[in-house]
Amino acid sequence: MAVPRRSLSLAKRLVATVLAFVLGVWVLAALVAWFVAQHELNELLDAHLAQTAALLATGQVVSDGDDAVVQAPVLMHKYQSRVAFQIWHEGHLRARSTDAPATPLAPGAQPGLSDQTLSGLSWRVFTAVSGTGTAAKEVIYVGERLSARRHVLVDSLRGTLFSLLLALPLLALAVVRSVRSALRPLRALGDNVAARSPQALAPLAEDQAPPEVRPLVHALNGLFARMADLLASERRFTADAAHELRTPIAAIRMQAQVARGAKDDADRRTALDATVAGCDRATRLVEQLLQLARIDTEETSHGPSNGGARAAGAFAHGPTNDLAAAAAEQAAEVQPQMQRRGQQLSLQRPEHAVPVAMNATLLAVLLRNLLDNASRYSPDGAQVAVTVATPSGASAELTVQDSGPGLADADLQRLGDRFFRVLGTGQSGSGLGWSIVRRLAHVYGLQVTVDRSPDLGGLRVRVVWPAAAEPR
């Protein structure tokens, strides 16, 4: 089994990158300095050669008629063997330095600087001639071995590079300390998060973080907000389930006890029917609680909270589903239930698809709750009308109206509160249906209005999908 490679820490990466960059700059600077220094050194030493030749030309080194060769004294300088001069008078060598050859340093060369090779050695020679043409009597050669120049240049750069290499450990230490100091806010952030308990989801202080770390802090705060919403949703679901399931479960238990103690079959059958009805109510309650939990999860997964409100635009570019087809499907599902009560259901929808940006499951939940409420709280033989339209200025509009008794204005204000039920309807329920509708409208940025139906006289619910969902 291959052992996974451990990645370098951010501090080590920064230190290695900075030092590598510095070394690269130093190498580049050394190369540039080499060529610049070589050029300048050649210019300087060439000038010295010319100046030396001029001094020799003006000196009284030899005299006409003296055939002796004057040799310069030994100066015991380390570069003396690499520098030489010659004075030729009418083709005769009259004076030279100790290490100068007996032949001309630059035979046949024109006055000025030239490169010569003598006995396998490279020389830089300056030639000076006194007189012109046939009147030329004295030729002065001042030469320097090119190896001496390279040696001087190498010695100079070696000293410079040695100083830089000595400074490299100090530079590395300074870089390490600087990087550690710069990364201290990250370590403090990590310690802060590590020391938190699972329930400590308060946001981190973004204004105290460096600008480079603020995006990370902002993302962590968003994560904390979503986690807080999930925890709140779980607590809310647990509290709702404990609150609402207590009564139907107790009723089921009581009816089961009645059935067990019944003396005849009729009483036992009545108690068992009540038990089944209680199970149905408990099942519906659990389904609605799960629907609310699913809505909360869907909302939380699309981004952090913003003062308790959601940016509905986060869902505007999600998957789209056909509202007309979904309405027809849900109407077909509730049709048998309504027929048993003699209720009539009508559906008006366009022939073309009506796409809305909404999760398919939650769209079905919205339609099912609206249809179920319209049927449940309307009397036997009532009419329920469903209309799907695409009005101007909106993406889609869903209208559900019935011929039931409707609601008072005071009840309309509380419609959508969790577990609120209108008294006196004679229908069982938990009051969660409208809470689910309101919650979905909040999540998806839908416009929901409830008023009295002008056509059927009962309740009318209009749900509008805006043409362009924008953050609220």
Contact between residue 470 and residue 311 where contact means Cβ atoms under 8 Å apart: no
Same fold across 11-56+69-169 and 309-472 = no
Look up residue 156 and give its two tokens: 């100079």
Long-range pairs of 174-178 with CB within 8 A, sequence gap ≥ 24: 175/14, 175/15, 175/18, 175/19, 176/11, 176/15
Domain ranges of the chain: 11-56+69-169, 209-305, 309-472
Q: How far apart are the first and last CA of the chain?
A: 53
**What are the phi and psi torsion angles at 176 (to 5°)?**
-60, -45
Does the domain at residues 309-472 carry the CATH identifier 3.40.50.300?
Answer: no
Q: How far apart are the C-alpha atoms of 53 and 128, rounded to whole Å?
A: 6
Q: How far apart are the C-alpha atoms of 327 and 333, rounded to whole Å?
A: 10
Nearest to 443 by CA among 327, 291, 334: 291
Burial class, 462, CB count within 10 angstroms (exposed 0-12 / middle 13-18 / buried 19+): middle
Supply the CATH classification number for the domain 11-56+69-169. 3.30.450
Element (H, E) at 466: strand 459-466
User: How far does Cα 88 stand from its chain's mean position?
Assistant: 80
In sign, the C-alpha dihedral spanning 58, 61, 62, 63 is positive
Contact between residue 139 and residue 128 where contact means Cβ atoms under 8 Å apart: yes
pTM of this structure: 0.46
Q: How far apart are the C-alpha atoms of 310 and 315, rounded to whole Å?
A: 10
Which residue shows structure tokens 């011929």?
A: 403
CA-to-CA separations, 177 to 50, 173, 184, 376, in angstroms, rounded: 54, 6, 11, 73
Contact between residue 351 and residue 317 where contact means Cβ atoms under 8 Å apart: no
Q: How far apart are the C-alpha atoms of 300 and 297, rounded to whole Å?
A: 5
Q: Quote the strand ranges of 312-446, DSSP E.
A: 320-322, 344-348, 355-357, 383-389, 394-402
Give me the tens of pLDDT residue by residue for the chain, a chain 472 residues long.
Answer: 455 566 667 777 888 888 888 888 888 888 887 888 777 777 777 777 776 777 776 664 554 555 555 444 444 444 445 678 888 877 788 888 777 787 888 887 788 888 888 888 888 888 888 765 555 578 888 888 887 778 877 877 787 778 878 888 888 888 888 888 887 888 888 888 888 887 788 888 888 778 877 888 888 888 888 888 778 767 766 766 665 566 677 778 888 888 888 888 888 888 888 888 878 877 876 776 776 677 666 666 654 444 344 444 444 455 789 999 999 998 988 888 889 899 999 999 998 999 998 888 788 888 988 998 888 888 899 999 999 998 886 789 999 999 888 666 655 655 644 444 544 444 444 456 777 788 888 888 899 888 888 888 888 999 999 875 443 3
Nearest to 463 by CA among 401, 398, 415: 398
